[in-house]
Structure 1
Amino acid sequence: MVRTIVCKKDGCSGNEFHIVTEDGRLKLTCKDCDSTYYYDVSYYEFMMLSNCEKCGNDTFKVFTNLEKQGLYAKCTKCGSPPEKVFIDDEGVQVTYEAKLLQDIKHFMYQIDQRICNLEIKIDGLEKGQELLEESLAYINRYMSE
Protein backbone atom coordinates (compact mmCIF):
# COMPACT_ATOMS: atom_id res chain seq x y z
CA MET A 1 0.00 0.00 0.00
CA VAL A 2 1.39 3.41 -1.01
CA ARG A 3 0.68 6.46 1.14
CA THR A 4 1.44 10.13 0.62
CA ILE A 5 3.61 11.64 3.32
CA VAL A 6 1.88 14.65 4.90
CA CYS A 7 3.34 17.23 7.29
CA LYS A 8 2.58 16.31 10.90
CA LYS A 9 2.83 19.78 12.39
CA ASP A 10 -0.39 21.06 13.99
CA GLY A 11 -2.26 23.37 11.63
CA CYS A 12 -0.27 22.29 8.56
CA SER A 13 -1.36 19.65 6.14
CA GLY A 14 1.26 20.27 3.48
CA ASN A 15 2.29 17.39 1.27
CA GLU A 16 4.98 19.13 -0.79
CA PHE A 17 8.57 18.90 0.39
CA HIS A 18 12.09 19.99 -0.45
CA ILE A 19 14.35 16.93 -0.26
CA VAL A 20 18.03 16.43 0.58
CA THR A 21 19.91 13.17 1.12
CA GLU A 22 22.22 13.31 4.15
CA ASP A 23 24.17 10.37 5.62
CA GLY A 24 21.83 7.67 4.33
CA ARG A 25 18.73 9.59 5.39
CA LEU A 26 16.28 11.57 3.31
CA LYS A 27 15.60 14.98 4.84
CA LEU A 28 12.15 16.31 3.99
CA THR A 29 11.40 19.98 4.63
CA CYS A 30 7.76 21.01 4.37
CA LYS A 31 7.25 23.71 1.73
CA ASP A 32 4.49 25.38 3.78
CA CYS A 33 5.84 25.45 7.36
CA ASP A 34 9.54 24.40 7.10
CA SER A 35 9.10 21.42 9.44
CA THR A 36 11.81 18.81 8.93
CA TYR A 37 11.44 15.03 8.83
CA TYR A 38 14.06 12.31 8.34
CA TYR A 39 13.58 8.92 6.71
CA ASP A 40 16.14 6.13 6.43
CA VAL A 41 17.09 5.43 2.80
CA SER A 42 20.45 3.75 3.41
CA TYR A 43 19.15 0.57 1.73
CA TYR A 44 19.03 2.35 -1.65
CA GLU A 45 22.04 2.07 -3.95
CA PHE A 46 21.64 5.69 -4.97
CA MET A 47 21.19 9.15 -3.52
CA MET A 48 18.27 11.40 -4.47
CA LEU A 49 19.28 14.91 -5.43
CA SER A 50 17.28 18.04 -4.64
CA ASN A 51 16.03 18.71 -8.16
CA CYS A 52 13.78 17.05 -10.73
CA GLU A 53 15.57 15.09 -13.45
CA LYS A 54 13.40 16.66 -16.18
CA CYS A 55 12.34 20.19 -15.24
CA GLY A 56 14.76 21.10 -12.41
CA ASN A 57 11.97 21.83 -9.91
CA ASP A 58 12.95 21.41 -6.24
CA THR A 59 9.55 20.58 -4.72
CA PHE A 60 8.29 17.00 -4.49
CA LYS A 61 5.42 14.91 -3.23
CA VAL A 62 6.84 11.97 -1.30
CA PHE A 63 5.22 8.56 -1.00
CA THR A 64 5.98 5.62 1.25
CA ASN A 65 5.33 2.01 0.32
CA LEU A 66 4.32 0.20 3.50
CA GLU A 67 4.66 -3.30 2.02
CA LYS A 68 8.06 -2.95 0.33
CA GLN A 69 9.55 -0.37 2.73
CA GLY A 70 10.49 2.28 0.23
CA LEU A 71 10.21 6.00 -0.39
CA TYR A 72 9.31 7.51 -3.74
CA ALA A 73 9.30 11.15 -4.78
CA LYS A 74 7.49 12.84 -7.67
CA CYS A 75 7.99 16.38 -8.93
CA THR A 76 5.02 18.64 -8.20
CA LYS A 77 5.27 20.21 -11.68
CA CYS A 78 5.89 17.34 -14.09
CA GLY A 79 5.61 14.14 -12.00
CA SER A 80 9.15 12.95 -12.72
CA PRO A 81 11.40 11.54 -10.00
CA PRO A 82 14.33 13.49 -8.57
CA GLU A 83 17.77 13.09 -10.09
CA LYS A 84 19.67 10.11 -8.74
CA VAL A 85 23.38 9.68 -8.13
CA PHE A 86 24.73 6.14 -7.93
CA ILE A 87 27.60 5.26 -5.61
CA ASP A 88 29.89 2.29 -6.25
CA ASP A 89 31.44 0.00 -3.61
CA GLU A 90 34.38 2.38 -3.10
CA GLY A 91 32.05 5.33 -2.49
CA VAL A 92 32.73 6.98 -5.85
CA GLN A 93 29.91 8.67 -7.78
CA VAL A 94 29.20 6.74 -11.01
CA THR A 95 26.55 6.55 -13.70
CA TYR A 96 23.74 4.01 -13.54
CA GLU A 97 25.35 2.05 -16.37
CA ALA A 98 28.71 1.88 -14.55
CA LYS A 99 26.97 0.76 -11.33
CA LEU A 100 25.00 -1.87 -13.25
CA LEU A 101 28.18 -3.11 -14.97
CA GLN A 102 29.95 -3.35 -11.61
CA ASP A 103 27.02 -5.32 -10.16
CA ILE A 104 27.05 -7.68 -13.15
CA LYS A 105 30.82 -8.22 -12.80
CA HIS A 106 30.39 -8.99 -9.10
CA PHE A 107 27.55 -11.42 -9.86
CA MET A 108 29.62 -13.12 -12.58
CA TYR A 109 32.52 -13.50 -10.13
CA GLN A 110 30.19 -15.18 -7.62
CA ILE A 111 28.91 -17.55 -10.32
CA ASP A 112 32.51 -18.36 -11.31
CA GLN A 113 33.35 -19.18 -7.69
CA ARG A 114 30.33 -21.47 -7.39
CA ILE A 115 31.25 -23.26 -10.63
CA CYS A 116 34.81 -23.73 -9.35
CA ASN A 117 33.46 -25.21 -6.10
CA LEU A 118 31.21 -27.56 -8.07
CA GLU A 119 34.13 -28.70 -10.23
CA ILE A 120 36.14 -29.52 -7.09
CA LYS A 121 33.23 -31.52 -5.67
CA ILE A 122 32.76 -33.39 -8.97
CA ASP A 123 36.47 -34.30 -9.01
CA GLY A 124 36.12 -35.65 -5.48
CA LEU A 125 33.08 -37.69 -6.49
CA GLU A 126 34.92 -39.12 -9.52
CA LYS A 127 37.85 -40.20 -7.34
CA GLY A 128 35.43 -41.75 -4.86
CA GLN A 129 33.69 -43.57 -7.71
CA GLU A 130 37.02 -44.96 -8.96
CA LEU A 131 37.91 -46.15 -5.46
CA LEU A 132 34.52 -47.87 -5.11
CA GLU A 133 34.92 -49.60 -8.48
CA GLU A 134 38.41 -50.85 -7.55
CA SER A 135 37.15 -52.10 -4.20
CA LEU A 136 34.26 -53.94 -5.84
CA ALA A 137 36.67 -55.49 -8.35
CA TYR A 138 38.89 -56.83 -5.52
CA ILE A 139 35.84 -58.12 -3.64
CA ASN A 140 34.55 -59.88 -6.77
CA ARG A 141 37.94 -61.46 -7.44
CA TYR A 142 38.28 -62.82 -3.89
CA MET A 143 34.66 -63.98 -3.82
CA SER A 144 35.07 -65.94 -7.05
CA GLU A 145 38.25 -67.70 -5.85
Structure 2
Amino acid sequence: MIRTVVCEKEGCSGNTFFIETDNNNLKLTCKNCGSQYEVDISYYDFIMLSNCSKCNNDTFKIFRDLDKEGVYVKCAECGSTPEKVYIDSDGIQVSYDIKLLSDIKEVMYLIEQRVCNLEMRLQDLERGQSTIEESLAYVNKYLIDKV
Protein backbone atom coordinates (compact mmCIF):
# COMPACT_ATOMS: atom_id res chain seq x y z
CA MET A 1 0.00 0.00 0.00
CA ILE A 2 1.37 3.39 -0.98
CA ARG A 3 0.66 6.38 1.25
CA THR A 4 1.38 10.06 0.87
CA VAL A 5 3.72 11.44 3.54
CA VAL A 6 2.05 14.24 5.51
CA CYS A 7 3.73 16.53 8.05
CA GLU A 8 3.23 15.19 11.57
CA LYS A 9 3.49 18.53 13.38
CA GLU A 10 0.33 19.47 15.22
CA GLY A 11 -1.70 22.01 13.26
CA CYS A 12 0.18 21.41 10.02
CA SER A 13 -1.09 19.14 7.31
CA GLY A 14 1.51 19.97 4.69
CA ASN A 15 2.29 17.31 2.12
CA THR A 16 4.97 19.09 0.09
CA PHE A 17 8.58 18.96 1.15
CA PHE A 18 12.01 20.24 0.25
CA ILE A 19 14.40 17.30 -0.04
CA GLU A 20 18.11 16.83 0.54
CA THR A 21 20.15 13.64 0.45
CA ASP A 22 22.52 13.28 3.40
CA ASN A 23 24.58 10.07 3.59
CA ASN A 24 21.99 7.29 3.21
CA ASN A 25 19.07 9.40 4.39
CA LEU A 26 16.60 11.61 2.60
CA LYS A 27 16.01 14.76 4.66
CA LEU A 28 12.50 16.12 4.27
CA THR A 29 11.65 19.67 5.28
CA CYS A 30 7.97 20.61 5.34
CA LYS A 31 7.26 23.55 3.04
CA ASN A 32 4.51 24.87 5.35
CA CYS A 33 6.08 24.74 8.84
CA GLY A 34 9.74 23.76 8.36
CA SER A 35 9.57 20.50 10.36
CA GLN A 36 12.28 18.06 9.38
CA TYR A 37 12.14 14.29 8.93
CA GLU A 38 14.63 11.67 7.78
CA VAL A 39 13.91 8.61 5.66
CA ASP A 40 16.41 5.79 5.12
CA ILE A 41 17.18 5.36 1.41
CA SER A 42 20.32 3.22 1.70
CA TYR A 43 18.74 0.57 -0.54
CA TYR A 44 18.89 2.91 -3.55
CA ASP A 45 22.00 3.07 -5.72
CA PHE A 46 21.56 6.76 -6.47
CA ILE A 47 21.40 10.13 -4.73
CA MET A 48 18.36 12.34 -5.20
CA LEU A 49 19.16 15.97 -5.89
CA SER A 50 16.92 18.70 -4.51
CA ASN A 51 15.46 19.88 -7.81
CA CYS A 52 13.05 18.43 -10.39
CA SER A 53 14.56 16.76 -13.45
CA LYS A 54 12.09 18.53 -15.77
CA CYS A 55 10.87 21.86 -14.35
CA ASN A 56 13.66 22.56 -11.82
CA ASN A 57 11.08 22.95 -9.01
CA ASP A 58 12.35 22.29 -5.48
CA THR A 59 9.20 21.03 -3.71
CA PHE A 60 8.11 17.41 -3.82
CA LYS A 61 5.39 15.06 -2.69
CA ILE A 62 6.71 11.99 -0.92
CA PHE A 63 5.07 8.56 -1.09
CA ARG A 64 5.91 5.54 1.08
CA ASP A 65 5.30 1.97 0.02
CA LEU A 66 4.40 0.25 3.28
CA ASP A 67 4.71 -3.26 1.79
CA LYS A 68 8.15 -2.88 0.20
CA GLU A 69 9.34 -0.07 2.48
CA GLY A 70 10.23 2.05 -0.56
CA VAL A 71 10.08 5.81 -0.98
CA TYR A 72 8.84 7.53 -4.14
CA VAL A 73 9.35 11.22 -4.78
CA LYS A 74 7.41 13.30 -7.31
CA CYS A 75 7.59 16.98 -8.17
CA ALA A 76 4.72 18.97 -6.66
CA GLU A 77 4.41 20.97 -9.90
CA CYS A 78 4.81 18.55 -12.83
CA GLY A 79 4.93 15.06 -11.25
CA SER A 80 8.43 14.20 -12.47
CA THR A 81 11.12 12.67 -10.30
CA PRO A 82 14.01 14.62 -8.81
CA GLU A 83 17.34 14.60 -10.58
CA LYS A 84 19.42 11.56 -9.68
CA VAL A 85 23.13 10.96 -9.48
CA TYR A 86 24.12 7.31 -9.63
CA ILE A 87 26.97 5.74 -7.69
CA ASP A 88 29.03 3.00 -9.36
CA SER A 89 30.65 0.03 -7.60
CA ASP A 90 33.74 2.14 -6.85
CA GLY A 91 31.66 4.87 -5.16
CA ILE A 92 32.12 7.36 -8.00
CA GLN A 93 29.22 9.54 -9.15
CA VAL A 94 28.27 8.66 -12.73
CA SER A 95 25.37 9.09 -15.12
CA TYR A 96 22.67 6.46 -15.40
CA ASP A 97 24.00 5.31 -18.79
CA ILE A 98 27.51 4.73 -17.44
CA LYS A 99 26.14 2.91 -14.37
CA LEU A 100 23.94 0.74 -16.58
CA LEU A 101 26.91 -0.06 -18.84
CA SER A 102 29.01 -0.95 -15.80
CA ASP A 103 26.25 -3.22 -14.45
CA ILE A 104 25.94 -4.93 -17.86
CA LYS A 105 29.71 -5.48 -17.99
CA GLU A 106 29.59 -7.05 -14.52
CA VAL A 107 26.77 -9.39 -15.53
CA MET A 108 28.61 -10.32 -18.74
CA TYR A 109 31.73 -11.12 -16.72
CA LEU A 110 29.71 -13.39 -14.40
CA ILE A 111 28.15 -15.13 -17.41
CA GLU A 112 31.59 -15.59 -18.95
CA GLN A 113 32.84 -17.17 -15.72
CA ARG A 114 29.90 -19.58 -15.63
CA VAL A 115 30.42 -20.55 -19.27
CA CYS A 116 34.11 -21.17 -18.54
CA ASN A 117 33.18 -23.37 -15.57
CA LEU A 118 30.71 -25.31 -17.73
CA GLU A 119 33.36 -25.81 -20.43
CA MET A 120 35.79 -27.21 -17.86
CA ARG A 121 33.13 -29.60 -16.51
CA LEU A 122 32.32 -30.70 -20.05
CA GLN A 123 35.99 -31.44 -20.71
CA ASP A 124 36.12 -33.48 -17.49
CA LEU A 125 33.06 -35.45 -18.61
CA GLU A 126 34.62 -36.07 -22.03
CA ARG A 127 37.81 -37.37 -20.39
CA GLY A 128 35.73 -39.59 -18.11
CA GLN A 129 33.80 -40.95 -21.06
CA SER A 130 37.06 -41.75 -22.89
CA THR A 131 38.33 -43.63 -19.84
CA ILE A 132 35.09 -45.61 -19.62
CA GLU A 133 35.22 -46.46 -23.35
CA GLU A 134 38.82 -47.67 -23.03
CA SER A 135 37.94 -49.77 -20.00
CA LEU A 136 34.98 -51.33 -21.82
CA ALA A 137 37.22 -52.10 -24.79
CA TYR A 138 39.71 -53.93 -22.51
CA VAL A 139 36.86 -55.83 -20.82
CA ASN A 140 35.40 -56.76 -24.21
CA LYS A 141 38.82 -57.92 -25.49
CA TYR A 142 39.37 -59.94 -22.29
CA LEU A 143 35.96 -61.60 -22.66
CA ILE A 144 36.59 -62.44 -26.34
CA ASP A 145 40.04 -63.90 -25.54
CA LYS A 146 38.62 -66.13 -22.78
CA VAL A 147 35.81 -67.55 -24.89
What TM-score bracket applies, with the shorter chain setting the length?
over 0.9
The match for 1:76 is 76
Question: How many residues of Structure 1 are paired with residues of Structure 2 in the alignment?
Answer: 145
Q: Which runs of 5+ in 2 are unaligned?
A: none
The match for 1:5 is 5
Q: Give the secondary-structure state (helix, strand or coil) at the position aligned to 1:47.
A: strand
Q: After the TM superposition, which residues 43-62 of structure 1 pair with which residues of structure 2 at under 5 Å, given as runs?
A: 43-62=43-62
The match for 2:25 is 25
The match for 1:109 is 109
Amino acid at match of 1:117: N
Give 1:76 deviation, angstroms. Answer: 0.9
Distance across 1 between alignment mates of 2:69 and 2:136:
60
Give 1:109 deviation, angstroms. Answer: 0.5
The match for 1:40 is 40
Distance across 2 between alignment mates of 1:60 and 1:12:
16
Please report the TM-score for the alignment, with normalisation by the length of structure 2. Answer: 0.93
Deviations 1:101-123 (A, max 9, x none): 11111110010000000001101
Q: Which runs of 5+ in 1 are unaligned?
A: none
Please report the TM-score for the alignment, with normalisation by the length of structure 1. Answer: 0.95
Distance across 2 between alignment mates of 1:15 and 1:122:
61
Distance across 2 between alignment mates of 1:95 and 1:107:
19
Amino acid at match of 2:102: Q
TM-align CA RMSD = 1.1
The match for 1:85 is 85
Deviations 1:35-76 (A, max 9, x none): 111111111111100001111111100001223331111111
The match for 2:16 is 16
Distance across 2 between alignment mates of 1:133 and 1:67:
59
Task: Report sequence identity in percent.
Answer: 60
Give 1:13 deviation, angstroms. Answer: 1.6
Amino acid at match of 1:10: E
Amino acid at match of 1:2: I
| Residue 95 of structure 1 pairs with residue 95 of structure 2 | yes
Q: Give the secondary-structure state (helix, strand or coil) at the position aligned to 2:119.
A: helix
Distance across 2 between alignment mates of 1:126 and 1:9:
72
